Amino acid sequence: MNPLLSFLKPDHPDAPSSHRPHLDRVVPPAALPGAEIQLHGTNLSPLATELPRATIGDIPAQITLARPTQAHLRVLEGSISGDLHLHRAGESSNPIYLRVAVPMAENLHPVANPVVDPIGNVFTTLSGSRGQQVAVSIFQIQRDFQIRPFVRGLLNPTGLAFGPDGLLYASSRAEGTVYRIASDGSFTTYAEGMGIATGIAFDPHGNLYVGDRSGTIFKIDPDRQIFVHATLPPSMAAYHLAFNAQGTLFVTGPTTSSNQVIHAIDPDGNTSIFFRGLGRAQGMAFDVDDNLYIAASLHGQRGIVRITPANPAANLQPEASLILAANNLVGLAFLEDGCATLATRDALYHIDLGIQGRSLL
């Protein structure tokens, strides 16, 4: 310790204190309202019978656990990104910046990733329960968060993707059909007969891949010929598909296992296991460095998990870490300027993650 500090008045901000909390890091560094995060540091436990308090900016956060070097807190509704402080015995900790997602659109029912068009409009579903016909099937959320109906009358829309023609495509899990959607929201049948059609994705050559949750990945070429590309174990919910920069297709299909795998399928249909150890893995997206981001649980914590690619030259295997805490996530899509939209079971959120996503168009 600097000996000059011993001459400072006790209320000086740089004066030493046996009670003042200090924060080293927050894990993960981002969250949706309602999620819990962990604080690591010193002097974080209750003093006598007084629990510490926490604030994010000017908004209180709920402390759920307090120990000397670790505290857990829940991010409350109404919170926004800002400096996080822990307050204990009348003293406040140093600030640590926490990124917090804000609501973008509510009263929805996404069951997979939202998608983004070239000008930044986001598209998502009001999917409904199986066989349920809803008034509006797909919504468009504009850059200013204005929401407008886009498609009506499409039964149980599930997977969404933009094709090389710039049009939106959607699968219907009730009908086993993929529809092509015009710019005015009208739609026509693109391919049918694919079981319980869920996740969809286009490769760079214009081939469309469709996940039938009963165990088949179909490939539809630009002439609309349908092939069985690969076979996987059945999913209890839906398949989710995404391509990396090398043209490898990644597939998740939620099961009841807490040790779930991510499958990797090469262009010839050969299947391998990319990563094992997630719970209820769902929607995925890649950044420009080919890191994979996935809505899943890791070691019992739910949110967005980042998985770095393997590096055989350095003898490094894929490595997973939780970058955002959230409940009920089903997918995500990257926007411009490092931002992302996150889909829960009934809403979309917007957050600045500082991550540049890989374009899918």
How big is the chain, counted in residues? 361
State the average pLDDT over residues 230-258. Answer: 90
State the average pLDDT over residues 16-36. Answer: 90
Q: How far is CA 124 from CA 147, 170, 276, in A?
A: 10, 10, 29
User: What pLDDT shows up at residue 4?
Assistant: 37
State the average pLDDT over residues 254-261. Answer: 83
Among the residue ranges 26-35, 48-57, 130-139, 252-261, the one predicted with the least confidence is 252-261
**Residue 318 banded pLDDT, cuts 50, 70, 90:** confident
C-alpha 333 chain-centroid distance: 7
User: What pLDDT shows up at residue 317?
Assistant: 82
**Residue 17 banded pLDDT, cuts 50, 70, 90:** low
Q: Are strands 157-162 and 168-172 parallel, antiparallel or unpaired?
A: antiparallel
Q: Model-level pTM?
A: 0.92
Among the residue ranges 48-57, 107-116, 296-305, the one predicted with the least confidence is 48-57
The DSSP line for 9-55 is -TTSTTS--SS--EEEEEESSEE-TT-EEEEEEES-S-BTTBPPEEE
Q: For residue 275, how many other CB atoms are within 10 A of its CB?
A: 23
Cα gap 96→230, rounded to integer Å: 46
HSE-CB at 92 with a 13 A cutoff on CA atoms is 12
**Residue 31 banded pLDDT, cuts 50, 70, 90:** very high
State the average pLDDT over residues 209-235. Answer: 95
Mean pLDDT computed over every residue of the chain: 92
Cα gap 353→58, rounded to integer Å: 21
**Domains in the chain: ranges and CATH:** 3-100 (2.60.40.10), 103-352 (2.120.10.30)
Is the confidence at residue 6, as pLDDT, over 50?
A: no
Beta-bridge partner residues of 221: none
Amino acid making up residue 360? L
User: What pLDDT shows up at residue 250?
Assistant: 97
State the average pLDDT over residues 16-33. Answer: 89
Cα gap 280→161, rounded to integer Å: 22
